[in-house]
Structure 1
Amino acid sequence: PNTSTSVGIDIVVDSTGLKVFGNGEWHARKHGANKRRTWRKLHLAVDANTHQIIGAELSTISVADSEVLGDLLRPLRRKISSVKADGAYDTRGCYAEVAAKKADAVIPPRCNAQLWEDGHARNSAVILTKHIGSSEWKKCGNYHQCSLAETAMYRYKQLMGDKLVSRGFNQQHTEAMIKVKVLNRMAGLGMPEYQGNS
């Protein structure tokens, strides 16, 4: 795949839940006991052009998506053109992380969004969504590319499973990162192409 970074890459970010499948799960299946399930969150940053996962993090379910954006972006050494994410990332911290990468943030403002200080990058999104509506704003900003992150998560769960089998958090993190590398290797071999019926 073409990984030229002279123009900058467009990144889409999202997260998904993964079940932790441990002894408690086996016990619940065997004896019918009702046990509270443990979950982890897998956060992904996907190159919108190549569909490669270029950043991944695992967190506990209590960590907000917006808290992890910096961990996904900071290690990247590529030139970034834009970062697209859903409204969960509409925070000052997320805008600061994107600005630190000299990229444009394409994040829909919350429905009750107010303007921030003069000159802030988010203000134009707030004004535009109030004037032309959220749907039109999303079209103008190519926000539809966010579905690529959802597609990457779907591929992850279909090919690697939606469970983590390791017991400790560090091992679960390693397990998830290995699965991401395998998924990228598979995507590097070639993405499926849609062939419609003629």
Structure 2
Amino acid sequence: MSPNAAQDPTARDGHITEIAARGRMAWQKATGYNQRSRGETLVGSWKVVIGSKLKARTFENQKAEVRIGVPVLNRMTGLGCPSFERTA
């Protein structure tokens, strides 16, 4: 926590307090942390498989490039994604 958390708490101080009070999983649910994490993972996958930037110059061609890239990425992740099952 920051030194003046009692008088002027930062957003980080609020998150730390909520984690301490309710637990990490409840905090993740309340803040939508998991959705953001999934989005960041998907963008990272796109950059690894397709490339870090679009190659086309015009907006219409960029849209076409994305329309081609999305099914490719979906197929590749579908082939390599394990399915998990809770056992206990």
TM-score (norm 2): 0.56
The correspondence for 1:156, drawn from 38, 46, 54, is 46
**Deviations 1:117-176, CA, capped at 9 Å, x for gaps:** xxxxxxxxxxxx8xx923537434262312111000000001100121222110111102
Give structure 1 regions of 4+ aligned residues with deviation exceeding 4 angstroms: none
Q: How far apart are 1:190 and its partner, in Å?
A: 3.0
User: What is residue 186 of structure 1 aligned with on the other side?
Assistant: 76
User: What is residue 80 of structure 1 aligned with on the other side?
Assistant: none
Indicate the RMSD between aligned Cα atoms, in angstroms: 2.7
Unaligned stretches of 5+ in structure 1?
Answer: 1-128, 194-198
Question: Equivalent residue of 2:78, what SS?
Answer: helix
C-alpha distance in structure 2 between counterparts of 1:144 and 1:157, whole Å: 21
C-alpha distance in structure 2 between counterparts of 1:168 and 1:139, whole Å: 39
Amino acid at match of 2:48: Q
Unaligned stretches of 5+ in structure 2?
Answer: 1-10, 19-25, 84-88
More strand by share: 1
User: What is residue 28 of structure 2 aligned with on the other side?
Assistant: 139
User: What is residue 61 of structure 2 aligned with on the other side?
Assistant: 171
Q: Identical aligned pairs, as a percentage?
A: 38
1:81-92 correspondence to structure 2 within 5 Å: none
1:1-198 correspondence to structure 2 within 5 Å: 133-135=14-16, 136=18, 138-141=27-30, 143-145=32-34, 146-191=36-81
RCO comparison, higher one (Cα < 8 Å, 6+): 1
- Count of paired positions: 63
CA distance 1:133–1:158, change in 2 (3 Å):
same
Question: Equivalent residue of 2:81, what SS?
Answer: coil
Question: Equivalent residue of 1:152, what SS?
Answer: helix
CA distance 1:160–1:168, change in 2 (3 Å):
same
**Deviations 1:58-107, CA, capped at 9 Å, x for gaps:** xxxxxxxxxxxxxxxxxxxxxxxxxxxxxxxxxxxxxxxxxxxxxxxxxx
